């Protein structure tokens, strides 16, 4: 096509695609280019603005490492990660929420009632619940991958003072589907804002704060995997999460309990001498049809 214009360039692009192009690839690329071209036309994008956009992408690549995923963070703060989650959440199951850029694979096994708080200061939290199907039946053998920040608001992958799997654990539930573990009460924290994503937040007049939360990945044979987070109902950033991760069914309540009510059968049973926080949160998985 010799006579490419601002009005026909999108159609010309589609015409360049091979007849052998995978149909889904054609659909996605066609829609992507259509929206990109319309965006440029609607905003009358200038050369300088286009160059700044390219510089943003190059900046993300420049700071991308094994432990820092700036492109994932960009997707998070633009709401794309959460939108994809919501598009593919299963009705009747626990809502999915953002994976985030700080998950570490290969977490060590964590027994039922195990402790992740260890020597760290801060209020103790006992989290417990049942992993069940949409009929309310427990799912034996389901796996729960858990991670969170330390009391300083940093994940293990961000903090040289923590070991690789600090505040990470992988629990396999028994026949009753129950899980339980102790940890430190999570804290609200800021996403990294010293790179290109931070520049975007500041340009938009946005803050970098996330409400405190626990991360879960829940898997079981025959069921759809779930990536989610759970949030306390009194967090100051619950209604302004910078990565749009909060859902109504993921909000729970911490209840303070005296040391005398700490249950038996836990790693810290008989060792708790101060009041602790307790939260019950059940996880519902959808069968993989």
SS (H, E, C) 108-143: CECCCCEECCCCCCCCEEEEEEEEEECCCCECCCCE
Q: How confident is the model at residue 273, as a pLDDT? A: 96
Mean pLDDT to the nearest integer, 93-115: 94
pLDDT-derived band at 100, boundaries 50, 70, 90: confident
Q: How confident is the model at residue 162, as a pLDDT? A: 93
Q: Hey, which residues does 277 pair with through a beta bridge? A: 125, 256
CB 194 within 8 A of CB 226: no
Q: Is 37 exposed, middle or buried (0-12, 13-18, 19+ CB in 10 A)?
A: middle
Which bin fits 118, alpha (ψ -120 to 50), beta or left (φ > 0)?
Answer: left
Q: How confident is the model at residue 102, as a pLDDT? A: 87
Mean pLDDT to the nearest integer, 171-179: 98
Q: How confident is the model at residue 211, as a pLDDT? A: 98
Report percent pLDDT > 70 for the chain.
Answer: 100
Residue 94 is classified by DSSP as P
Mean pLDDT to the nearest integer, 255-277: 97
Residue 262 in this model has a pLDDT that exceeds 70: yes
Q: Select the more confidently predicted residue: 209 or 1.
A: 209
Q: How confident is the model at residue 2, as a pLDDT? A: 80
pLDDT digits (tens, 9 = 90+) for 13-58: 999 998 888 999 999 999 999 999 999 999 999 999 999 999 999 9
Residue 195 in this model has a pLDDT that exceeds 70: yes
Candidates 138, 72, 146; CA nearest to 104 is: 146
Q: What is the CA radius of gyration of the chain?
A: 23
pLDDT digits (tens, 9 = 90+) for 220-253: 999 999 999 999 999 999 999 999 999 999 999 9
Q: Which two tokens stand for residue 108?
A: 């060590």
CB 281 within 8 A of CB 127: yes
pLDDT-derived band at 1, boundaries 50, 70, 90: low
Q: Which two tokens stand for residue 210?
A: 């996330």
pLDDT-derived band at 185, boundaries 50, 70, 90: very high
| Count of CB atoms situated within 10 Å of the CB of 139 | 23
Instruction: For residues 252 and 235, give the distance between their C-alpha atoms in angstroms, rounded to a whole number.
Output: 11
Cα distances (Å, whole numbers) of residue 173 to 128, 143, 223? 11, 6, 15
């Amino acid at each position: 096509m010799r006579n490419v214009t601002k009005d026909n360039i999108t159609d010309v692009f589609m015409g360049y695609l091979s007849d052998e192009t995978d149909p889904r690839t054609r659909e996605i690329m066609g829609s992507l280019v259509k929206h990109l071209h319309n965006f440029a036309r609607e905003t009358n994008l200038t050369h300088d603005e286009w160059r700044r956009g390219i510089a943003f992408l190059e900046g993300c690549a420049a700071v991308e490492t094994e432990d820092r995923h700036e492109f994932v963070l960009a997707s998070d703060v633009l709401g794309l990660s959460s939108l994809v989650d919501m598009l593919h959440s299963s009705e009747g199951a626990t809502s999915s929420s953002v994976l985030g850029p700080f998950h570490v694979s290969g977490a060590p096994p964590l027994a039922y009632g195990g402790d992740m708080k260890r020597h760290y200061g801060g209020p103790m939290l006992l989290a417990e619940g049942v992993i069940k199907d949409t009929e309310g039946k427990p799912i034996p053998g389901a796996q729960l991958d858990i991670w969170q920040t330390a009391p300083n608001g940093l994940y293990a992958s961000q903090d040289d003072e923590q070991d690789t799997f600090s505040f990470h654990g992988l629990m396999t539930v028994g026949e009753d589907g129950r899980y339980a573990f102790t940890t430190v009460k999570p804290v609200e924290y800021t996403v990294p804002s010293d790179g290109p994503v931070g520049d975007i937040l500041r340009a938009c007049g946005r803050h970098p704060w996330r409400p405190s939360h626990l991360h879960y990945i829940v898997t079981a044979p025959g069921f759809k995997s779930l990536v989610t987070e759970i949030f306390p109902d009194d967090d100051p950033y619950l209604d302004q999460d910078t990565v749009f991760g909060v859902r109504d069914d993921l909000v729970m309540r911490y209840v303070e309990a005296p040391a005398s009510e700490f249950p038996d059968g836990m790693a810290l049973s008989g060792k708790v001498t101060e009041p602790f926080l307790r939260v019950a949160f059940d996880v519902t998985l959808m069968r993989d049809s």
